[in-house]
């Protein structure tokens, strides 16, 4: 599975102004993710893990350094080009699910495929298959407000994977879930990683998430402090 | 651009805050209905004024001797061949009338007044108020009728009545005064009493005999409908080379100016109503956008282009505006149907008369006005949505997701 590099960061720096006080969130990070990897970005608050995830996802721009995703340099892309790149190559799982409240679970999963212009019949078929694979096929007509937190996060995962992205980015995916639901979700991500070869990068401070990743990268004060392989859990 | 998806999102978002959007929709409906009803009343006023001006012995086009308007006397008259007919397509011609109209003094046993003494052929007067007025007593029967009909208001001023005699003094073609007695055949009653006090009618042949000249002072031509362009003027001018051929706007400049003013009033009224409405629309859309900052951030994060975000906000605004405009036009139409008989302005009869209007204001709903309201409302709605859309697209996905 591994070999091709999906993410490459070279000397990435990012400084924020927090109440006029500069905060150096990333201080020259060099980082690569191979295809098929499952990486957890760990570290205390303010260590720069979310910033690194956002820079990789094109949601934030580095002050200096280069970011490359699946061979595409992000630095010089316009907002629209970044949108297109996220649409075609990335899947996102957010901490707060961020489903569209006026769409049903099925429509939420279909949403990105609609943006991609996938035909209606194929779209619905793939969305149903994704929801079924995540064990919530019977909830397809419910809107987010009618689903529990765990169910919403599964819909968010289904939305993120249904387009078979090159890279799945997850920001604190377990933050609003109990441990049982978190374990179920992580097993699911792991299965996706192993069976479909989805490359996953998750920013987290949850040891449970770190334990499920194949590789753990610890950040401290905007720099990579440790980068190690994990033992694969059962 | 996934237009179908954006339409679906926009449509559902409108039902997300039912009460707020219902209030906004109601405001649009009331504003559009109000503009539609007001426009129809202004149009009613406008066309009534035009109709009154045209029916006031003016017609759409009139042939006069040069200088008659400055000195309306028998000296400013002309001969008209007995077999003359206007060379106009009969489909465009409602009718025409040749008259003598000269100043005169009218006397009863008790009172004396200055009037316009008009010799008419009653068979031709279907084009003027004389044909549609209500009568007490009899109408004039022919061009040779030797009696007079006077306005009801003048009869009251002169303290006289149907069947009694009056004396009229006017100047003959030779410049000498002529005096003759006339029996009152009937009194006419028009909507306002301005005309009733001014015009006294007799048969045109009788008046020609009184002034001792087989002449007329005017030929009025009325066309079908309410045309604004008079191509027949040119052909009439070519035929009557030594006479003036004038249209009603030249003959009644005050009414013509009011006609133009009514067009402007419709537009100004529309701008005022829509201006107030647009503030509400912009405010509601900005609120809707700011409430959904996270959602817009997420849409951008998962790959929706900025242009699609703009389109979504514009579609939401346009959708609610389109529904509001359709309901507003329908509501306005229903209201106009309800007042279809017109609004009675008799209480303000003197003021109404001054504007040359009738006392019943009948609304007039024109398709072009409805299209103007619909088109301009959607246009304003579109522009009102641009600022909120710009606000939506300025939201940084990352900042939005952090909220």
Instruction: Please tell me the distance from the alpha carbon of residue A230 to that of residue A211, in angstroms, as a whole number.
Output: 7
> Considering only CB atoms, which chain A residues are within 8 Å of B16?
101-102
* Both structure tokens of B24: 């906004």
**pTM, two decimal places:** 0.73
| Residue A145 covered by a domain | yes
Long-range contacts of A71-80 (CB under 8 A, 24+ apart): A79/B306, A80/B305, A80/B306, A80/B307
Q: Is residue A88 part of a domain?
A: yes
CA distance A86 to A90: 5
Domain that holds residue A175: 37-47+83-229
Q: How far is B266 from chain A (nearest CA, A)?
A: 41
Q: Which residues contact B223 (CB under 8 A, 6 or more apart)?
A: B60, B61, B88, B92, B93, B94, B230, B232
Return d(Cα B184, Cα B149) in angstroms, integer.
6
Q: Do B9 and A57 touch (CB under 8 A)?
A: no
Which chain A residues are Cβ-neighbours of B13 within 8 angstroms? 102
Same domain, B309 and B208: no
Task: Judge: A88–B301 Cβ closer than 8 Å, yes or no.
Answer: no
- Same-domain check for residues B65 and B38: no
A114 touching B (Cβ < 8 Å)? yes
**Minimum-distance CB partner of A112 among B12, B302, B305:** B302
Q: What is the pLDDT of residue A1?
A: 43
B90 and B171 together in one domain:
yes
Tokens of B167: 């004396």
Final residue of a structural domain among B248, B283, B317? B248
Q: Under an 8 A CB cutoff, do A59 and B5 touch?
A: no
* Contact of B151 with B190, CB cutoff 8 Å: yes
Last residue of a domain, one of B248, B275, B308: B248
Q: Cβ contact (<8 Å) for A92 and B305?
A: no
Judging contacts by C-beta atoms under 8 Å, the chain B residues touching residue A96 are 294, 401
Are residues B241 and B320 part of one domain? no
Q: Report the C-alpha gap between B379 and B385 in whole angstroms.
A: 10
Strands B112-120 and B199-203: parallel
Of B193, B227, B248, the residue at which a domain comes to its end is: B248
Distance (Å, whole) CA A118 – CA A126: 10
CB-closest option in B294, B307, B398 to A59:
B398
CA-based nearest residue to A173, from A58, A75, A49, A18: A49
Please indicate, yes or no, whether residues B17 and B41 belong to a single structural domain of this protein.
yes
**CB atoms closer than 10 angstroms to residue B81:** 6
Measured in angstroms, the CA of B395 and the nearest CA of chain A are apart by 12
The count of structural domains within chain A is 1
Which backbone phi and psi does B317 adopt, to 5 degrees?
-65, -45
> Which residues, other chains included, contact B381 with Cβ-Cβ below 8 Å and sequence gap of 6+?
B278, B281, B317, B318, B320, B321, B322
Look at residue A53 and tell me if it is in a domain. Answer: no
Provide the greatest CA pair distance for chain B.
101
A43 touches chain B (CB under 8 A): no
HSE at residue A51, side-chain half, CA atoms within 13 A, is 27
> Please, are residues B380 and B279 in contact by the beta-carbon 8 Å criterion?
no
Q: Are B273 and B34 in contact (CB under 8 A)?
A: yes
Domain count, chain B: 2
B295 closest CB neighbour out of A79, A86, A100:
A100
Shared domain check, B49 and B90: no
Distance from CA of A105 to the nearest CA of B (A): 14
Asked if B232 and B298 sit in the same domain, the reply is no
Residue B351's pLDDT is what? Answer: 61
Q: Of B153, B150, B127, nearest to B57 (Cα)?
A: B127
A77 min Cα distance to partner chain B (Å): 13
Contact flag B5-A101 (C-beta cutoff 8 Å)? no
Using the beta-carbon criterion (under 8 Å), do B302 and A86 form an inter-chain contact? yes
Contact of A60 with A234, CB cutoff 8 Å: no
With CB atoms and an 8 Å threshold, state whether B5 touches A98. no
Interval A197-231: pLDDT, tens: 889 999 998 898 898 999 999 999 999 999 988 77
Of B5, B301, B401, the CB nearest to A86: B301
CB neighbour class for B4 (10 Å; exposed up to 12, middle 13-18, buried from 19): exposed
> Is residue B111 within 8 Å of residue B172, measured between CB atoms?
no
Selection from A123, A179, A133 nearest residue A157 by Cα: A133
Sign of the Cα pseudo-torsion (B227, B230, B236, B241, in order) = positive
Pair (B148, B195) in one structural domain: yes
Q: What is the pLDDT of residues A107-161, one digit of tens each?
A: 999 999 998 989 999 999 999 998 988 888 899 999 999 999 889 988 998 999 8
- Residue A223 belongs to some domain of the structure: yes
- Chain B residues with beta carbon closer than 8 angstroms to that of A60: 398
Q: What is the DSSP letter of A194?
A: I
The whole-angstrom distance between B285's CA and the closest CA on chain A is 17
Q: What is the pLDDT along chain B (403 residues), one digit of tens a residue?
A: 678 888 888 888 888 888 888 888 898 899 899 989 988 988 888 888 888 888 888 888 999 999 998 888 888 999 988 888 888 888 888 899 999 999 999 999 999 999 999 999 999 999 988 888 899 999 999 999 999 999 999 999 999 999 999 999 999 988 899 999 999 999 999 876 678 999 999 999 999 999 999 999 999 999 887 666 667 888 888 888 889 999 888 888 888 888 888 888 888 888 888 888 788 778 877 887 788 888 888 888 888 888 888 888 888 888 888 999 999 999 999 999 988 777 777 666 666 555 556 667 888 888 988 998 889 888 888 888 888 888 888 878 877 777 6
Set of chain B residues whose Cβ sits within 8 Å of the Cβ of A163: none
The predicted pLDDT at position B352 comes to 59
Residue-number span of the structural domain to which B95 is assigned: 58-248
Q: Alpha-carbon distance A60 to A67, whole Å? A: 11
Average pLDDT, integer, range A27-46: 93
Distance from C-alpha of A206 to C-alpha of A211, rounded to nearest angstrom: 9
Residues of chain A positioned with their CB less than 8 A from the CB of B295: 98, 100-101
Statement to judge: residues B202 and B86 lie in one domain: yes
Asked if B200 and B91 sit in the same domain, the reply is: yes
For residue A35, pLDDT over 90 is answered with yes
Say what the pLDDT of residue B349 is.
61
Check whether residue B242 and residue B94 sit in a common domain.
yes
Whether A60 has its CB under 8 Å from any CB of chain B: the answer is yes
* Same domain membership, residue B204 and residue B100: yes
Residue A234 neighbours by CB distance under 10 Å:
3
CB of A59 less than 8 A from some CB of B: yes
- Which tokens hold the place of B308? 């699609």
Residue A2's pLDDT is: 46
Question: Is B8 exposed, middle or buried (CB count within 10 Å of its CB: 0-12, 13-18, 19+)?
Answer: middle
**Contact state of A87 with B303 under an 8 Å Cβ cutoff:** yes
CB contact under 8 A, A112 and B303: yes
Contact B294 A114 (CB under 8 A): no
Chain B CB within 8 Å of residue A100 CB:
yes
Q: How many residues in chain A?
A: 234
The DSSP code for A192 is: I
Phi, psi of A146 (to 5 degrees): -100, 10
- Rounded mean pLDDT of A53-66? 93
What is the per-residue pLDDT for B33? 92
Which chain A residue shows the shortest CA-CA distance from B5? A114
- A-to-B residue pairs, Cβ atoms closer than 8 angstroms: 66
CATH number, domain at A156?
3.40.50.300
């Amino acid at each position: 599975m591994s070999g091709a590099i999906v993410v490459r960061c070279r000397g990435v720096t990012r400084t924020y102004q927090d109440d006029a006080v500069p905060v150096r969130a990333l201080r020259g990070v060099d980082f690569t993710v191979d295809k098929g990897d499952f990486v957890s970005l760990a570290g205390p608050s303010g260590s720069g893990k979310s910033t690194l995830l956002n820079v990789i996802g094109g949601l934030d721009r580095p002050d200096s350094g280069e970011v490359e995703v699946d061979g595409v340099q992000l630095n010089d892309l316009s907002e629209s080009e970044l949108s297109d790149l996220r649409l075609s190559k990335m899947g996102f799982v957010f901490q707060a699910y961020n489903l569209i409240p006026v769409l049903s679970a099925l429509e939420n999963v279909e949403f990105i495929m609609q943006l991609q212009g996938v035909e209606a019949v194929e779209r619905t078929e793939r969305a149903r298959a994704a929801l079924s694979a995540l064990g919530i096929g019977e909830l397809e007509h419910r809107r987010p407000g009618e689903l529990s937190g765990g169910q919403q996060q599964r819909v968010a995962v289904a939305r993120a994977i249904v387009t078979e992205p090159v890279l799945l980015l997850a920001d604190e995916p377990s933050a609003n879930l109990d441990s049982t639901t978190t374990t179920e979700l992580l097993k699911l991500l792991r299965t996706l990683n192993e069976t479909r070869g989805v490359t996953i990068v998750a920013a987290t401070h949850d040891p449970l998430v770190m334990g499920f990743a194949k590789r753990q990268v610890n950040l401290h004060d905007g720099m990579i402090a440790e980068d190690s392989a994990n033992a694969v859990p059962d | 651009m996934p237009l179908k998806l954006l339409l679906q999102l926009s449509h559902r978002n409108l039902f997300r805050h039912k009460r707020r959007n219902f209030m906004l929709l109601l405001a649009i409906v009331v504003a559009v209905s109000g503009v539609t009803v007001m426009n129809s009343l202004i149009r009613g006023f406008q066309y009534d004024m035009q109709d009154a001006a045209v029916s006031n012995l003016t017609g759409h086009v009139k042939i006069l001797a040069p200088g008659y308007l400055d000195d309306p006397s028998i000296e400013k008259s002309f001969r008209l061949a007995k077999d003359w007919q206007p060379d106009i397509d009969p489909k465009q011609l409602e009718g025409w009338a040749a008259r003598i109209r000269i100043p005169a003094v009218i006397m009863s046993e008790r009172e004396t007044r200055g009037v316009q003494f008009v010799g008419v052929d009653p068979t031709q007067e279907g084009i003027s108020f004389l044909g549609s007025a209500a009568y007490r007593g009899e109408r004039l029967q022919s061009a040779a009728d030797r009696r007079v009909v006077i306005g009801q208001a003048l009869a009251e001023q002169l303290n006289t009545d149907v069947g009694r005699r009056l004396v009229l003094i006017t100047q003959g073609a030779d410049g000498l005064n002529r005096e003759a007695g006339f029996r009152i055949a009937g009194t006419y009653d028009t909507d306002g009493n301005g005309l009733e006090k001014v015009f006294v009618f007799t048969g045109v042949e009788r008046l020609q005999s009184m002034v001792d000249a087989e002449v007329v002072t005017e030929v009025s031509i009325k066309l079908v409908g309410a045309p604004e362009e008079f191509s027949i003027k040119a052909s009439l001018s070519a035929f009557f080379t030594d006479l003036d051929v004038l249209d009603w706007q030249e003959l009644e400049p005050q009414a013509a100016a009011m006609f133009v003013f009514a067009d402007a009033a419709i537009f100004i009224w529309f701008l005022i109503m829509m201006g107030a409405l647009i503030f509400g629309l912009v405010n509601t859309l900005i609120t809707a956008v700011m409430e959904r900052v996270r959602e817009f951030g997420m849409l951008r994060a998962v790959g929706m282009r900025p242009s699609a975000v703009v389109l979504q906000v514009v579609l939401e605004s346009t959708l609610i505006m389109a529904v509001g405009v359709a309901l507003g036009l329908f509501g306005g139409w229903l209201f106009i149907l309800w007042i279809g008989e017109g609004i009675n302005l008799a209480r303000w009869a003197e003021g109404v008369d001054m504007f040359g209007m009738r006392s019943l204001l009948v609304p007039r709903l024109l398709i072009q006005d409805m299209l103007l309201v619909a088109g301009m409302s959607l246009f304003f709605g579109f522009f009102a949505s641009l600022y909120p859309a710009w606000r939506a697209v300025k939201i940084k996905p990352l900042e939005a997701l952090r909220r």
